Structure 1
């Protein structure tokens, strides 16, 4: 049975509106992902300089002296011995921060913590498809519950981290793309971390690509999305100058000419423990983001153009040939 042309257009319009309603919020999110983020930008030299500020506000310590690190050895379960390079980085931090408490959260310790303190999340925690999602999630609950500083094992310390304790909550910003969850800081029970942990449930989707699933359910894209949502709910600074609740972004831009890293170091080749087959694809997109979007929009435009040509031919039907001279 042939579908009437008008019905085809109506169904097509409904499908297009539905598609745009789903896609546009995602497009707007990716705009935030690759461009300027909300919050207060601070370079590491600015934080170091603020340590000499004698004002009362600058001397307040909001964050407790705890450094959390998470080690889940999914390649050799039950073996909680750190790789030598990571153990060396960790010991360097201990030497430079002798007054801090250092905690390493193994796979068993992490699960016991979730089961005891946040049992409502245990089912989701246990059923994550990829192990790194549990590493991501538990760091957010540690920030909420204990506060302190979280650090990945491939990050090290260059100096005493005490100046970073004077800001109630902060994340790190590599200056390109999403915010980073490799180093975090917060006082206990900060409302941002309440929102982060509660948002893990609605964001727990299994996407077709492993990289997208990890990044958008618990990783850096997820952190960036909740960061932007949180700041969108805050009153405008000019509307209520006495209640400034924006959070801080500590810059960790590694590009040439960027502000130097005063507090942290990075172990080359130390990350990538959760690489999947599509990581290289998205890494390439990130390095050529403008070329990617140019090709994407050009391809979309080509599809629309071809669609319009097909519609015109379909609507035109057959054309009556004019009588030639000498024919009836």
Structure 2
């Protein structure tokens, strides 16, 4: 008799039937998993927080001039060409062809205008596959097997950054100023909320270990996760990145140098006066499942708390029911 069966038998004696005992035991297991997940999320959030970039991390004169222009409501003009850089001046974007829709063309042009000395590389479906076939032929079977085109769009960005370095930017993201101040770090990801980063913008030096880890982990995560959105989200998209990044933090730790990873705070990424980017209409592949996932994610702690408290509630109700039955029996006597 194994431990699970023994526990069911023990709980069955405390409750009315085996089905109820199995339910209680399953919920107890989920409660344990909840505590473990809570610890993992808290640790990951702490790791993100400890790596946040601030104005103090940017060149002193640049940060001072930036603040002065904002305080005086002046147009910020600064020669960034002599700032120290580690990440090469390359901007990668992807689309199925060179015929970019008008609603995204202005985003691409804004980055060219703000960063005229950069090499701007647009990867189409054809050129992206050629790149994988030439440099990473072992990945072609996985690349071709993806059921959703967005999975290929996601996966190519990790290989591009590992091979060339530079900055990957989604088509629906525009540039508000020169990105030179962000090139002084070995790698960075933008923080979207307290517990996660995004993969719509990211950057690294060539051959950075986190990009290698992401690229090499794609095959193990290739699978079906219930719906189109959740499959993309977990197999190649943001949740995939956060999962790998969390494990990478555990192994590598908070290091500097060639393996360092910094986190771009919302003030540099979202709608603030300090932001380097601006987000426009996008999410062209999202459907009903995306709305469901976002709804659940926005209520994540309530859902997890409900799962954690469910065993205690059911046990309390069962106890009250037994006491009620006992009182009814005594009353009838």
> Secondary structure, in 3 states, of the residue corresponding to 1:249?
strand
CA separation in 1, counterparts of 2:113 and 2:146? Answer: 36
Partner of 1:226: 244
Which one is further off, 208-217 or 98-107? 208-217
CA separation in 1, counterparts of 2:268 and 2:314? Answer: 39
CA separation in 1, counterparts of 2:269 and 2:219? Answer: 35
In the superposition, the TM-score normalised over structure 2's length comes to 0.74
Partner of 2:176: 158
1:174 aligns with 2:192: yes
In the superposition, the TM-score normalised over structure 1's length comes to 0.75
1:247 aligns with 2:286: no
- Does the C-alpha gap of structure 1 residues 10 and 123 become closer, same or farther in structure 2, counting only changes over 3 Å? farther
Partner of 1:103: 121
Partner of 1:317: none
Q: Is the 8 A contact 2:189 2:202 kept in 1?
A: yes
CA separation in 2, counterparts of 1:243 and 1:163? Answer: 17
Q: Is the 8 A contact 2:197 2:242 kept in 1?
A: yes
Task: Kindly state the Cα deviation for residue 224 of structure 1 after the two structures are TM-superposed.
Answer: 1.4
Task: Kindly state the Cα deviation for residue 280 of structure 1 after the two structures are TM-superposed.
Answer: 1.1
- Does the C-alpha gap of structure 1 residues 21 and 154 become closer, same or farther in structure 2, counting only changes over 3 Å? same
Which deviations, in whole Å up to 9, do the C-alpha atoms of 1:18-37 show, x marking residues without a partner?
Answer: 87897776554444566662
Q: Is the 8 A contact 2:267 2:275 kept in 1?
A: no
1:41 aligns with 2:52: yes
> Secondary structure, in 3 states, of the residue corresponding to 1:278?
helix
Contiguous gaps of at least 5 residues in structure 1? 73-78, 314-319
Which deviations, in whole Å up to 9, do the C-alpha atoms of 1:228-275 show, x marking residues without a partner?
Answer: 2122112567xxxx979541101125999x8643311121xx122121
The counterpart of 1:199, out of the listed 214, 217, 241, is 217
Q: Is the 8 A contact 1:60 1:166 kept in 2?
A: yes
Task: Kindly state the Cα deviation for residue 127 of structure 1 after the two structures are TM-superposed.
Answer: 1.2
> Secondary structure, in 3 states, of the residue corresponding to 2:245?
helix
User: CA RMSD for the aligned pairs?
Assistant: 3.8
Contiguous gaps of at least 5 residues in structure 2? 12-21, 64-81, 324-328
Which deviations, in whole Å up to 9, do the C-alpha atoms of 1:120-150 show, x marking residues without a partner?
Answer: 1111111123221111111011110110011
- Does the C-alpha gap of structure 1 residues 92 and 8 become closer, same or farther in structure 2, counting only changes over 3 Å? closer
Partner of 2:231: 213
Partner of 1:262: 275
Q: Is the 8 A contact 2:89 2:117 kept in 1?
A: yes
Task: Kindly state the Cα deviation for residue 97 of structure 1 after the two structures are TM-superposed.
Answer: 1.0
Q: Is the 8 A contact 1:71 1:106 kept in 2?
A: yes
Q: Is the 8 A contact 2:179 2:276 kept in 1?
A: yes
The counterpart of 1:283, out of the listed 268, 273, 294, is 294
Greater helix content:
2
